[in-house]
Each structure stands twice: as structure tokens, then as C-alpha cells.
Structure 1
């Protein structure tokens, strides 16, 4: 599994097989990318696993508190969870 970060039009940190899979997940859960000619080349950036884990561990839950280690490790390593972080304005 690889990790991809997208900043525009909405921020997302995604787990995917490759850039095409990352774009599919982004389209499904975050936003449509039809307006972009080269979305994979222009907007998707592969990031290291450690970077993704650090970013994910800094996300606060609905209660405004940081998530527990148990929750972070369980969800970060769960292959069924594809979107780790999404822009808060979409919630």
C-alpha cells in the first residue's frame, strides 16, 4: 500500500495501490476531478509511510482530542480504510 497526499481542490491523505487508484478513491469520497486535465500528474503526490502516519496521528477526533494510539494503529493499518484524512470543510 502506498500513501498519497492531495491539496487541491480539497485536502486528502489516501491509501492506494497507485496514483490511478488514489484518483478513484478521491473521486468516490472527496471530490470530482473531471475539471483537471492531468490530475494525477498535477495534484497527487506520493508520500512516505512515516509521513502519512505522523500526519494521521495529529488529526483530532470529533471531540477535539487527539485520537488514541489504539485507534490510530488499528485504522492506519486497516486495508479497508482508504481515506485517512479529508478536508474538514467536507464533513
Structure 2
């Protein structure tokens, strides 16, 4: 059976990540408090944010922004909206 963790995003026991997804203390915090499913969902949102906002993660401001958005996401707080994103379920066929 896979390891589990009490996921702070979903507030229940879920499958854990296999290893820390980030270096250092932040990576250990994510490993101990975030499920594999929540991490995968965050990665999708993060990619959309990086692309839409044209972030350069070599810049400290961009990294700080992404980390702040990640904390909001896992704490079920409102993250910045992506203006160009259209949910595929909202698209109506012509």
C-alpha cells in the first residue's frame, strides 16, 4: 500500500508524494502536508501561471510570486485568476 499523508488542501488522508518536490525546508513541508493529487493539480496551475504571466523563474520576484500562489492554493485561499484560461467544460460546440 502507498504511503499516505493528511492533505491540507483536501483535509483528508490521501496518497503521499514519493519524495520532496522542492529542496530544503519548504520541500519537506510539502512532502509532509500535501497529497500527490494536490501536487499534480498545483503543477498544472503553476504551468498556466508561468505561461500566462510570462514569468521568468530566474528572477527572484517571479519565484516569490509562484511560492506565494502555491501557499494560497494548498491553504484553499483564492489564487490569482488567469484571464486567458477557458475551462474545456465551458466550451460550447458551434
TM-score, reference length from structure 2: 0.30
TM-score, reference length from structure 1: 0.30
Larger radius of gyration: 2
Report 1 or 2 for greater relative contact order, CA contacts < 8 Å, sequence distance ≥ 6: 1
Greater per-residue helix proportion:
2
